Amino acid sequence: MIRIVFAIMLMLFNVEAAHAVLPSEMLTNPVQEARARSISSNLRCLVCQNQTIDDSSADLARDLRLIVRERIVAGDGDGQVMDYVVARYGNYVLLKPPFQMDTALLWLLPFAALILALAVAYATLRGRPVLDDADEPNDILKG
């Protein structure tokens, strides 16, 4: 039984993410390659939208991966590589949109919703009369 549970756990948690990076694309310098991988996994594949360019086997994603590596080899910092792609495709390619004027609503709305909910909960709960013992339903059952 333990073995079966263990096998199921393995299946659930040991699934390797499918990466589309071909060996031929990889940089020989492992530090640079690691940077390329981390940058690529923050860039959206524009053809498939819910995949990163690191995960996608689309031609356009591959072209973008090559550009990321080219910029790294050319000496760009991670931020500069991101900027290079953002300059062409806009913030849209970033899987984590930056906090700025046009994304303020996106970032702040969840907090606003939380504060609103807490305020409503507080107002509602505070206004409710405290139940006294005699009204408890259990008393009715006890008869």
Partner 1 sequence: MGGVLVIGLNHDPRVMPSTLLGAPLPAFDLPALDEAQPNIKSASMKGGFTLLNVWGSWCVSCREEHPLLMKLSKDKRFKLVGIDWRDTKAHADDYLLTNGNPYAAIGTDQGGRTVIDLGVSGAPETFVVDNTGTVRLRVPGPLTPEIWAKDIEPLLKDQGPAS
Residue 67 found at the interface with partner 1 (CB under 8 A): yes
Q: What is the DSSP string of 41-88?
A: TTBB-TTTSSSBTTT---HHHHHHHHHHHHHHHTT--HHHHHHHHHHH
Q: Is the backbone of residue 90 left (phi > 0), alpha (psi -120 to 50) or beta? A: left
Q: Where is 11: in which H helix or E strand? A: helix 2-13
59 binds partner 1 (CB under 8 A): yes
63 touching partner 1, by CB under 8 A: yes
Q: Answer yes or no whether residue 109 interacts with partner 1 by CB under 8 A.
A: yes
Residue 94 DSSP code = B
Q: Does 124 bind partner 1 (CB under 8 A)?
A: no
Q: Among 113, 114, 119, 120, which residue sits at the site for partner 1 (rule: CB under 8 A)?
A: 113
8 binds partner 1 (CB under 8 A): no
Least distance between partner 1 and beta carbon 46 (Å): 4
Residues that bind partner 1 (CB under 8 A): 46-47, 49, 59-60, 63-64, 67, 86-90, 92, 105, 109, 112-113
